[in-house]
Amino acid sequence: MGDEMQIGPYKLRNNLILAPMAGVTDRPFRSLCAEMGAGLVVSEMLSSNPKVWKTAKSINRMNHEGESGIRSVQIAGSEPKLMAEAAKFNVDHGAQIVDINMGCPAKKVNKKLAGSALLQEPLLVAEILKAVVNAVDVPVTLKIRTGWSEDNRNGIDIARIAEDSGIQSLAVHGRTRTCMFKGNAEYDTIKAIKANVNIPVIANGDITSAKQAKDVLNYTGADGIMIGRAAQGNPWIFRQVEHFLKNGTHLEKPSPLEMAAISIRHVEDIYDLYGFHMGVRIARKHVGWYLNSYDTEREFRREFNKIEDSGLQIEALEKFFSLLSKQAKSKACYAA
């Protein structure tokens, strides 16, 4: 448990992977999750449409400057030739692994028959996978859902196509396309997929704690775990899972002071990447996630979201965590 995992020539430090999430897994967040114990972090999805590669949004998404670790970039699209070109373009810009998105259920993506909509078209899936694998000299990985709908869980067929096409590892989200993010993820299909292919299989969907990560690994036999939404405002989940898999004991979450240091440095990295004007806005959602369980009445967030100045944002965060720290100390004294 918590073993190293291999994707092509790359040995990961462990088998815990940060899921690519549009608008979330930018360079500051990826770097933080890697530092907090993720063995691999995957960038936000990039369209295979070359017209958008030069937009500010795409340029930021492709920014891997100063990133340590293995650079994995996710691409999405439905035309084999364009997908092959997108893969080449990203490898030329430093990608060491190319990940293909056939897991995103978003309507915006699915309207274009990309993401999980492709699961309806196994022949096209094979064409895309082969085109991308043949276009680049780096490992190509794939992310899918368990199928198109509950009546059409064709994940095993797609997994076999992936293996035959030269895909080096497969991440499976335990829902179908029609489930979107509703209901609970199921792991039976992931278990069945793992039993039917010889490439590494990574389990994804609703993994929100160290114990659950272990349970899912045990149940599915998967080679690794992919965590997405549970890492938002909670990047130390990777550290906690890694510790639990190795030692069987729970690692406490950071103290308010450590949390302050982590979130403030994260926010400062956001300013560095996007500039102060955009950075102030982008910082708001991350701060909202960090404070989810502390600011239950959302009072602090309402005030924080009105702040237009980066210095004042940092000041407000310092105050909030300092107060939290005092409260934690007085609770500890009272309990003693």
Q: Determine the 3-state secondary structure of 224 from DSSP.
A: strand
Euclidean distance between CA atoms 103 and 172, whole angstroms: 8
Alpha-carbon gap, residue 207 to 46, rounded angstroms: 25
Cα–Cα distance measured from residue 35 to residue 234, given in angstroms and rounded to the nearest whole number: 13
Distance CA 175, CA 177 (A): 7
Q: Which amino acid is at 140?
A: V
Please tell me what DSSP assigns to residue 149: B
**List of residues 6+ apart from 80 with CB closer than 8 A:** 124, 127, 128, 130, 131, 132
Burial class (CB in 10 A: 0-12, 13-18, 19+), 156: middle
Bridge partners, residue 147, by sequence: none
Which runs of consecutive H residues, i.e. helices, occur in 65-177? Answer: 80-92, 107-110, 122-135, 155-165
Q: 187: helix, coil or strand?
A: coil
Catalogue the active-site residues: 104
Please report, as a single letter, which amino acid is at residue 174.
G
d(CA 44, CA 143): 13
The encoded tokens of residue 56 equal: 């500010």
**Non-local CB neighbours of 90 within 8 Å, separated by 6+ positions:** 46, 62, 73, 75, 98
Angle (CA) 100-105-108 rounded to 5° is 95
Q: Name residues whose C-beta falls within 8 Å of residue 127's C-beta, 6 or more positions apart in sequence.
A: 80
Supply angle C-alpha 45, 23, 260, rounded to 5: 130
